[in-house]
Amino acid sequence: MTTQRRILAFSLSLASVFGTVELLKTKETQTYTCRTFGSGIVQPFQGESYYVRSDCPFTLTSFNVNQGEYSVTIRRGHNGLLVQVEIVLNNVTTLCRMATLW
């Protein structure tokens, strides 16, 4: 597996894991996951899958909890594959670009 594929797999796993939200307002805990895969498929928390073709930044998920900020923003290349994943957690930004982790 090449370094680019490892970074892509790592980024997708982070986006899937960090895109999980538990809603505790009801008696039952419900878990929703927002995810993206393939060359542009986005599956929102409670919805059908959509194909999004764009090389602009796209916020996959974003919310604030207990004064903490959380967001995952992705950008795809012209071929539809992820070229950048930005994860912000409590004002700490992790940026994954192609084969580089910043």
Taking only the tens place, the pLDDT of each residue in 49-59 is: 888 888 899 88
pTM of the model: 0.62
Output the pLDDT for position 94: 93
Tokens coding 14: 């982070």
Rounded CA gap, 86 and 15, in Å? 9
> What is the largest distance, in Å, between two alpha-carbon atoms of the chain?
45
Per DSSP, what are the bridge partners of residue 16? none
Most confident of 21-25, 33-37, 60-64: 60-64
Taking only the tens place, the pLDDT of each residue in 12-34 is: 555 554 444 444 454 555 677 78
Nearest residue to 77 (alpha-carbon basis) of 32, 33, 39, 29: 39
